[in-house]
Structure 1
Amino acid sequence: MAAENCSDGGQDPNPCYLQKFRLYETRSNFYMVGRDKSGTLCRILKIDRLDPSELTVLEDSTTYAEIECYDLLRRIHEGNRSTGGLKFVTACYGIIGFVKFLGPHYMLLITKRRKIGAICGHTIYAISKTQMITIGNSPVQSNMAYSKNEKRYKKLLCSVDLTKDFFFSYSYNVMHSLQRNLCKNETGLLNYETMFVWNEFLTRGIRNNLKNTLWTVALVYGFFKQVELSVSGRDVKLTLIARRSRHYAGTRYLKRGVNEKGRVANDVETEQIVFEDVPEGCPTQISSVVQNRGSIPLFWSQETSRLNLKPDIILSKKDPTYEATKLHFENLARRYGNPIIILNLIKVGLG
């Protein structure tokens, strides 16, 4: 796929992107203050802390100037002085999502980020540090919040290292290819529902409630690398992006083939973007090439064995009319169009 005469990478040229946040708390509420890139415009999000069973998130529709925002926070502090007032909790760079196990809801935040590249003037970030915040305050938390199972589930979630192989952007739809961004003006809500956004479920509640994605970031899992090269006296940037599907993902040998919905195991879209290095904005010429890899779209498996380095391939007969295979190729056609060219990377056939 190739595209030329790029304008803005398919994004809204005048958006209100919130990029820096500060979290405050009172006894009964959390207040998230979001600022745009310049730090001059503010929005406020209120999260209720008194109802342990429900996640109640309310967004103030007003866009405040910085001095107006500080005045509002001061009035909130004064109004809650009898119960401790308004306290600063942490600075952050977006909400990863909300999760509930057996006890209270938790909020996952990005507290440190690092720049790893830019596409058409849009910065791409990786996560350096995260933090989990308990929504309910101590007086209203049930005993379940301190149970053995609750602690085990929290430990399992915290074992996922979000500082490795996850990346995001506030203003560029990094979950899509460059060509798709140029050709389609898709909203933030739809972008989260794609196969490459790994925190789609964690953000579903707040997105459906607020009908926007101002407060959350869409995390793509895979690989992102951008380098500067000199070709024939011209300085160019080479960007390699690998996006791994969240559907039917798993470790090798444990996930193989296709499932009933036509999703293949370990589906990865790889994109190579080349453009001339310009001081700012988007270059006049840019090239994007995309290819996709995934497991063979049949019902098959391999038995794991330490003694056999090449275990036998077991082909299931559960789909004699290849309905799942058909669904898979229909999905590919919707995403990339026709014709679809298949390259077989295995030496032993499945017949």
Structure 2
Amino acid sequence: MRSLVPFRDINVHASTSHYAFTSPSSPSAQTLVVERPSGDIRLNDGALLGAKRVSSIAGILGIIKLRLDKYIIVITKAQPMGRLKGHMVYKIIATEFLPLRERTLHDPDEDTYLNLLKTLLRSGPMYFSYSLDITNSFQRQAASNPSLALWERADDRFFWNKFIQSDLIDFATGATSGSGLRQHGHRESGADPFILPVMFGMMRITTTRIKSTPLTFVLITRRSRHRAGTRYLTRGMDEQGHVANFNETEQIAVLNDESRGLGGIGVEASMQNGKVGGFEGQDMQVMSYVQTRGSVPAYWAEINTLRYVPDLQIRGVETAVGAAKLHFSEQIRLYGDNYLVNLVNQKGREAKVKQAYEQMVRMLLSSPQEASEANDVTDQKIHVVESTQRGHEYDRLHYVYFDFHNETKGLRWHRAQLLLDQLKDGLVQGQYFRGVDMPGDSQGRLEVRNRQVAVVRTNCMDCLDRTNVVQTMLARWTLTRQLIDIGILRPGESADDDQAFQILFRNVWADNADVVSRSYSGTGALKTDFTRTGERTRAGAMQDLNNSITRYVKNNFSDGPRQDAFDVFLGAFLPDTSSIGSGRAFVDRRPVLIQSIPYLLAASVFMVLISSLPRSSSDSAWWPLRLFAVLWLAIGFWCFRFIYGHGVLYVNWPKLNTPRWANEGYQETMGAIRQDKIIGSFVARHERGASNARISHLEEGKKRIQ
């Protein structure tokens, strides 16, 4: 019988000729064999002889090919996070890389690739379930085909390890054999239980009560694997319509769920397909509400130059219309009507992004109509762009701009309620999902009682801090509406009326804000004191200041390697197998003199500090020491001025898919330095060549507005 869910327990057997993976709880299942060193995959009936059992693992994360070798990445430790509708969900805690060959050559690039991947896997919050498709919302799960394997049902956007599972997927579907030969569609269903889909994002499962009614409160944020990356290095949209920092957040309330809590091994072993029933005589109910966030769908970028506010570039909106159509076609197909909430500032540098977004919406709608609401500060407190008719699919877009900055300035966070008032009609019409367990259904399917037919897509510049505040507000309003509809609350009551639940709700949403922010910007979110407490505090403002400084440092000096790790893991960059041992991929190609200036600055600071130490008595060396200090002070000032004035040379850019603007900035800056009267001749004489790193953003010759 074909297994539709992954194995819960896998033993790894190793020999010099192969790795073998077996499930001790499924003795009749076939053994998955990965040949060494070729990486060919096959299934074997029964166990293989001559292989030594190495360890027991929680699952196979995938197989990745680097420069020298292929590696099988296995999950060695997973933490139970709780049960969702009877299904246990786990977080990946530890992984291990199993090489296919004994390395005889040393390659520094191979070591760097491995370190990047291991760092990403240690820091990236990744979750999986053996029996529940956590990559899909409950509404999409209700419409999925239960006869498909779990990995086949997974949402392609949130199947985070799909690229490194491609060898196993190709083998299972008959697309290729391990050697790359066509197998004419021969299906290897015995490989399905070894393919484990993993989600990147945030997961909280909490048992609680509202007005003495027990429920399981769940928050899931799924980060898209398309155009994934770090804050300033991944902005806007690509030509396939994928936007940066796209996340789907699903808030879930489960009623009549007796399977709450972590449970034990005995409980898990007794589950059929991971399913546990609800209370006798009471149907388990699931209510969920989905929101999305994503970068402004246009071609734009912010360019690090070591200044606190990066340079902003926006390419002509007309060039991005095709990609925007791809993006919104997918969003409308998946979610229905899209309410596009834009929270960027309407003045200053962010105004260009606002204008580009609105121009894009006008070009997509068949008959755009605009309306604005003014106040004493601006004539666009709220600005709406909608179509007056439903001529084509893009007329299901409803653009709503809210002047978040001005309306909430001075800690007036309650003013965000103005946006909610504007969206209420759309929220009511958009509905939410509600499903009830089908009695006696062995597959645990839900009978759909209500569907969500619209989504609110929120963005600010980063889709982090302001976006978090608004999403939390909309989620609270919708949860109250759900609880009133099923009779737990009376009309006029609010979920916030229960003090204990209010604290839980706020902290879960604040945790979600921190996770989403950390994966994109490197720090926790700003303004989470308001999310946690309902008010802006001085302590929260100080924490925001600390996070802002940390973001500046990380975004300029450590996001390059993080972006490289994303690109390798997700297949956006394929390591080159030529010139093994040369160590070229991550070499610093700047002239040595340019590289040495930060060290010279550090040395000057050290010398000034040493020379400023107090002396016990004056002596004849006092004045020479002062001159020595002044000399080093002048050197330090020149070094600082040089670094700050040529900041593009000192940003830690990605080495693999280096952005085009970084390469352009490098060439322009080096051209200016060659004309420098102090060091120009030295740089021109000793320059080791400009960077030949690969580029993938912003086609050359396209018009950009700066």
- Is the TM value for this pair above 0.5? yes
Structure 2 residue 19 is matched with structure 1 residue 30: yes
Alignment-derived partner of residue 264 in structure 1: 243
Structure 2 residue 144 is matched with structure 1 residue 184: yes
Structure 2 residue 74 is matched with structure 1 residue 109: yes
Which ranges in structure 1 are unaligned for 5 or more consecutive residues?
1-13, 63-68, 78-85
Structure 2 residue 164 is matched with structure 1 residue 202: yes
| Residue identity in the other structure for 2:235 | R
Which ranges in structure 2 are unaligned for 5 or more consecutive residues?
174-190, 260-275, 356-706
Distance in 1 (CA, whole Å) between partners of 2:199 and 2:5 is 22
Q: 1:288 to 1:116 in 2, by over 3 A?
A: same
Q: Percent identity?
A: 27
Three-state SS of the structure 1 residue aligned to 2:301 is strand
Three-state SS of the structure 2 residue aligned to 1:213 is helix
Distance in 2 (CA, whole Å) between partners of 1:169 and 1:265 is 26
The structure carrying a bigger helix percent of its residues is 2
Three-state SS of the structure 2 residue aligned to 1:150 is helix
Alignment-derived partner of residue 300 in structure 1: 300
1:325-345 superposed Cα distances (whole Å, 9 cap, x missing partner): 1111001012212x2111112
Distance in 1 (CA, whole Å) between partners of 2:203 and 2:320 is 39
Three-state SS of the structure 2 residue aligned to 1:333 is helix
Contact 1:240 1:272 in 2 (8 A): yes
Q: 1:276 to 1:40 in 2, by over 3 A?
A: farther
Contact 2:5 2:130 in 1 (8 A): no
What are the equivalent positions in structure 2 for 1:74-153 lying under 5 Å apart? Answer: 76-77=49-50, 86-136=51-101, 138=102, 143-144=104-105, 146-153=106-113
Work out which structure has the larger RCO, using CA pairs closer than 8 Å and 6 or more positions apart in sequence: 1
Larger radius of gyration: 2
Alignment-derived partner of residue 236 in structure 1: 215
Alignment-derived partner of residue 345 in structure 2: 347
| Residue identity in the other structure for 1:275 | V
Distance in 1 (CA, whole Å) between partners of 2:60 and 2:6 is 13
**The 10-residue stretch of structure 1 (190-199 or 96-105) with the greater mean CA deviation from structure 2:** 190-199
User: How far does residue 278 in structure 1 lie from its aligned partner after superposition?
Assistant: 2.3
| Residue identity in the other structure for 1:256 | R
Structure 2 residue 287 is matched with structure 1 residue 287: yes
Distance in 2 (CA, whole Å) between partners of 1:276 and 1:185 is 25
Q: 1:173 to 1:150 in 2, by over 3 A?
A: same
**TM-score, structure 1 length as denominator?**
0.80
User: How far does residue 303 in structure 1 lie from its aligned partner after superposition?
Assistant: 3.0
User: How far does residue 104 in structure 1 lie from its aligned partner after superposition?
Assistant: 2.2
**CA RMSD in angstroms, aligned pairs only:** 2.4
The structure carrying a bigger strand percent of its residues is 1
Which runs of 4 or more aligned residues in structure 1 lie more than 6 Å from their structure 2 counterparts after TM superposition?
Answer: none
Contact 1:104 1:134 in 2 (8 A): yes
User: How far does residue 264 in structure 1 lie from its aligned partner after superposition?
Assistant: 0.7
Distance in 1 (CA, whole Å) between partners of 2:92 and 2:306 is 36
User: How far does residue 93 in structure 1 lie from its aligned partner after superposition?
Assistant: 1.1
Contact 2:216 2:255 in 1 (8 A): yes
**TM-score, structure 2 length as denominator?**
0.41
Alignment-derived partner of residue 80 in structure 1: none
User: How far does residue 306 in structure 1 lie from its aligned partner after superposition?
Assistant: 4.8
